[in-house]
């Protein structure tokens, strides 16, 4: 899943990017309003994490501009403004969630996960993929009681494909979802990642399968549990 973090505090920006990246998210970071707006316009983010007091353009203006341009990316406002009227203003400007600083990192992650699930119409944090269960809350894949060892990127890819199981997903969509701007993949990186994940999944007879649709992309096929 790809996130955009617009935050002017360098330390907070870096620590959140570090933590979310380790959770398997592809995170782009921006420190001021105008650049944040252009990033949000140009990239298909799953969630935008938006500070309000930003140089160049404040978060509310940025959010209203995005909504006016029909950008429907879920936006989570992350700010020190804790008054009720500030929350109401942010939510009415088009935010999907509002979190006041200081906050718990796990709570931020949980809220991001909820917004991601909402984006893909998934209420249940557990995604059943044949004999495997992807736990979006814990960030793990299990078969029964056993945990399947996946790298964060493999997990992220499986989650992305799992949320869109049965749909053909193009390479570009995969690239946008699991890579940020600092880790732009080389030409066949997506194919390599899919290949590695496919190999790991093939060890389970009744697990999900990643099928290639030549010229179109990939589709995850999973039997109902």
The yes or no reply on residue 94 touching another protein (CB under 8 A) is: no
Nearer to another protein, 9 or 170 (CB): 9
User: Among 38, 41, 44, 53, which residue interacts with another protein (rule: CB under 8 A)?
Assistant: 53
* DSSP string for residues in 117-150: HHHTT---SEEEETTEEEETTTTEEEETTEEE--
The yes or no reply on residue 32 touching another protein (CB under 8 A) is: yes
Output phi, psi for 181, to 5 deg: -70, -25
Output phi, psi for 218, to 5 deg: -130, 155
Nearer to another protein, 63 or 174 (CB): 63
Contact of 37 with 146, CB cutoff 8 Å:
no
The yes or no reply on residue 65 touching another protein (CB under 8 A) is: no
CA angle 28, 159, 13 (to 5 degrees): 20
The yes or no reply on residue 38 touching another protein (CB under 8 A) is: no
Give, as ranges, the residues between 170 and 189 that touch another protein (CB under 8 A).
none
Chain residues in the site for another protein (CB under 8 A): 8-9, 11-12, 15-16, 18-19, 22, 32-33, 52-61, 80, 82, 100-106
């Amino acid at each position: 899943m790809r996130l955009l973090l617009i935050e002017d505090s360098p330390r907070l920006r870096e620590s959140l990017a570090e933590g979310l990246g380790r959770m398997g998210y592809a995170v782009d970071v921006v420190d001021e309003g105008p650049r944040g707006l252009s990033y949000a316009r140009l990239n298909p983010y799953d969630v935008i994490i938006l500070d309000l007091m930003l140089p160049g353009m404040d978060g509310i203006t940025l959010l209203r501009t995005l909504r006016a341009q029909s950008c429907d990316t879920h936006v989570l406002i992350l700010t020190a403004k804790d008054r009720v009227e500030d929350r109401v203003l942010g939510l009415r400007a088009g935010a999907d969630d509002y979190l006041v600083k200081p906050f718990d990192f796990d709570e931020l992650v949980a809220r991001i996960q909820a917004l991601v699930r909402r984006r893909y119409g998934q209420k249940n944090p557990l995604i059943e993929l044949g004999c495997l269960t992807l736990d979006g809350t814990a960030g793990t894949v299990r078969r029964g009681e056993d945990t399947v060892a996946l790298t964060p990127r493999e997990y992220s890819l499986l989650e992305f494909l799992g949320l869109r199981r049965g749909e053909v997903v193009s390479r570009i969509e995969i690239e946008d979802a699991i890579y940020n701007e600092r880790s732009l993949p080389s030409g066949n990186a997506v194919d390599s990642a899919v290949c590695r994940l496919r190999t790991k999944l093939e060890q389970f007879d009744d697990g999900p399968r990643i099928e290639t649709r030549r010229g179109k992309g990939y589709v995850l096929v999973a039997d109902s549990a």
